[in-house]
Amino acid sequence: MAKVKVVEQVLKANDQIAAQNRALLDDRNTLAVNVMASPGAGKTSLLMRTIEALRGRVRVGAIEGDTASQVDADRVATTGVPVIQINTGGGCRLDANMMRPALEQLPLEEIDLLLIENVGNLVCPAGLALGEHVGVVVASVPEGDDKPYKYPAIFVAVDAVVINKTDLLPYLDFDVAAFRQLVAGLNPKARIFQVSCKTGEGIDEWAGWLAEMCTRP
């Protein structure tokens, strides 16, 4: 029971800091989107495509979370948007406490949309609040269509699901209809987008949804 109590205390403390982060973002009128996925699903590529699609329409910033290095942050920085790297030192997800100093370093008053790339993992980030307004999970075609069945918690927790690397559908056994049915069964309110960061397919619809979210009160 003691272990359970400690976990509850940790989660409660995280939620309190997440609420402070959310208040800071709200004060700056910045919409924060927590992007989660397994390693290699294409989170960084999706961020870069999104930034380009929204250029001139929405002011974008980014936070890159990883266990080590700043390779992804360096890639995103080439787009010209403000970006901060958070290294977790081996931890499998970002948390609200890690987010706080990153938010304080960003010019939030100049950012309408903050894209947060969480650490590559489909288990640890599920349900752990950062202060974000929107949660997104990216699932790529090479991973297979059974991810919602294997990792239901993260699909239940998000507002949108992005099927990435759709250019590979003709070559791989990925049943889009079955995947959509699994997601709908777990989370019927989640929006589902099909995109290819390689060809640009579906990016405009996805980016347009984010732009619309930025304008909502």
Pair of tokens at residue 25:
């973002």
Q: 191 falls in which pLDDT band (50, 70, 90)?
A: very high
* pLDDT tens digits, one per residue of 32-90: 999 999 999 999 999 999 999 999 999 999 999 998 888 999 999 999 999 999 999 99
Backbone angles phi, psi at 183, to 5 degrees: -60, -45
> What letter does residue 131 receive in the DSSP assignment?
S
Reference 37, options 149, 133, 158; nearest CA is 158
Task: Tell me if 66 sits within 8 A of 102, measured CB to CB.
Answer: no
Strands 191-194 and 113-117: unpaired
Task: Quick: pLDDT tens for 107-156.
Answer: 999 999 999 999 999 999 998 999 999 999 999 999 999 999 999 999 99
- pLDDT for the residue numbered 9: 77
| 172 close to 142: Cβ distance less than 8 angstroms | yes
Q: Which residue in the block uniquely carries the two structure tokens 């294997």?
A: 150
Query: Which pairing describes strands 134-140 and 191-194: parallel, antiparallel, or unpaired?
Result: unpaired
64-68, 157-161, 178-182, 192-196: segment of lowest average pLDDT: 64-68
Secondary structure (DSSP) of 31-95: EEEEEEE-TTS-HHHHHHHHHHHHTTTS-EEEEEEESS--HHHHHHHTTT--EEEEE-TT-SS--
Task: Please report the pLDDT score of residue 1 as a whole number.
Answer: 45
Write down the pTM of the prediction: 0.95
Residue entry with tokens 């290095």: 69
What domains are defined for the chain?
2-215 (3.40.50.300)
Q: Is the dihedral of CA 205, 210, 211, 217 positive or negative?
A: positive
Reading the block at residue 57, the tokens are: 């329409």
